[in-house]
């Protein structure tokens, strides 16, 4: 197991979890979703190939009412 | 009859000169009715951490209405934060357009124009269509246009204040100072504020709270649509000059002679 910070909270994951799995387990529609890993954007096309590592800070962001 | 002509920003034509925000609505149902009544084609959305408890998405509402989402960088206080947020929004919403906000003060939510200019220049270099929320300072507006912003969006008064347009003179000066569209953003309280913005020469109005926090958002959205159209039409109809004294509108000749 590894431990990451997901949207500011500690989360334990299986070794080898990639970003796409992390996202699709949590959101109904991936349109309108963005992911940052350690303060850098990970483009949608790279989610599948990006394996989450121990200690990563991941942000999953979605559209919200605003401005 | 469509009163206004289309507004061109960057490569996009907008039939409606009212741009709305989605913040402040009590529910997505109320928001949907208000947005439909507003006639808007472009509406801001924010990017926030996933809330596992949330049901429905503001994007579903926009999809149903055929409205384009304009992501904002609300809540950012530095150029670096705003640039990262814009990059995230580009990936999330598949758009190069961004409403750029860099806030310098929590109480007034006034822009930090130094950080704003840095962020604007960086995002233009990265190929974004940048629509910056800025102060009503004509010099700052000119600088934003010079770094390549697709429009400038001066405030009328602080965000959500409903204070109207505090410095109409500066809005006119901004209209003169830049060639890109001028969009009055923030401070609109009621329909006359929106009409005034257009009469001062603004190309569009961006508002959220005035509609979403009104007692009847749908009715206020209708009022804003009509006000923007009325203000634009008045601006282009060539108003009469203001005079100190009266000028009779009935002819003096041919008056009835009594006594």
Please check the confidence at residue B1 and state whether its pLDDT lies above 60: no
Q: State the first-to-last Cα distance of chain A, in angstroms, to the nearest integer.
A: 40
Please check the confidence at residue B243 and state whether its pLDDT lies above 80: yes
Chain A touched by B80 (CB under 8 Å): no
Please check the confidence at residue A26 and state whether its pLDDT lies above 60: yes
Which pLDDT value is given to residue A5? 93
Phi and psi dihedrals of B230, rounded to 5? -65, -45
B99 labelled catalytic: yes
Q: Which of residues 168-197 of B touch A (CB under 8 A)?
A: none
Treating both helix axes as pointing N-terminal to C-terminal, what angle do B217-237 and B28-38 enclose, rounded to 10 degrees? 20
Measured in whole angstroms, how far is the alpha carbon of residue B40 from the centre of its chain?
Answer: 11
Chain A touched by B46 (CB under 8 Å): yes
Measured in whole angstroms, how far is the alpha carbon of residue B138 from the centre of its chain?
Answer: 17
* Residue B50: Cβ-neighbour burial (10 angstroms; 0-12, 13-18, 19+): middle
CA atoms within 13 A on the CB side of B231: 25
The mean pLDDT of B115-139, rounded to a whole number, is 98
A35: chain B residues, CB-CB within 8 Å: 88, 91
Which pLDDT value is given to residue B2? 60
Chain B touched by A67 (CB under 8 Å): yes
Q: What is the interface pTM, i.e. ipTM, of the complex?
A: 0.89
Chain A touched by B100 (CB under 8 Å): no
Q: Return the residue of A nearest to B81 by Cα.
A: A39
CA A53/CA B120 separation, integer angstroms: 33
Inter-chain touch B23–A32, beta carbons under 8 Å: no
């Amino acid at each position: 197991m590894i431990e990451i910070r997901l949207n500011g909270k500690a989360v334990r994951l299986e070794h080898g979890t990639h970003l796409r799995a992390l996202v699709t387990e949590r959101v109904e529609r991936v349109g309108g979703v963005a992911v940052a890993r350690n303060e850098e954007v990970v483009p949608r096309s790279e989610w599948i190939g990006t394996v989450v590592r121990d200690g990563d800070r991941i942000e999953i962001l979605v559209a919200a009412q605003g401005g | 009859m469509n009163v206004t002509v289309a507004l061109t920003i960057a490569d996009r034509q907008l039939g409606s000169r009212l741009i709305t925000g989605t913040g402040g609505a009590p529910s997505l149902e109320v928001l949907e009715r208000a947005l439909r009544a507003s006639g808007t084609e472009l509406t801001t959305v924010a990017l926030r951490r996933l809330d596992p408890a949330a049901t429905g998405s503001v994007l579903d509402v926009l999809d149903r209405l055929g409205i384009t989402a304009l992501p904002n960088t609300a809540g950012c206080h530095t150029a670096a934060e705003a640039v990262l947020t814009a990059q995230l929004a580009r990936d999330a919403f598949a758009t190069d357009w961004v409403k750029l906000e860099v806030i310098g003060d929590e109480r007034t939510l006034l822009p930090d124009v130094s950080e704003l200019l840095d962020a604007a220049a960086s995002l233009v270099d990265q190929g974004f269509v940048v629509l910056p929320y800025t102060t009503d300072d004509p010099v700052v507006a000119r600088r934003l246009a010079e770094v390549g912003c697709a429009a400038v969006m001066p405030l009328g008064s602080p965000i959500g204040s409903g204070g109207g347009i505090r410095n109409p003179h500066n809005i006119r000066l901004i209209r003169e100072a830049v060639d890109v569209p001028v969009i009055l953003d923030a401070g609109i309280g009621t329909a006359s504020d929106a009409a005034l913005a257009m009469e001062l020469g603004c190309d569009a109005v961006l508002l959220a709270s005035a509609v979403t926090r009104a007692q009847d958002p749908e009715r206020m959205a209708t009022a804003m649509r009509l006000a923007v159209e009325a203000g634009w039409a008045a601006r282009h109809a060539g108003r009469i000059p203001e005079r100190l004294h009266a000028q009779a509108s009935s002819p003096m000749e041919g008056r009835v002679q009594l006594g």
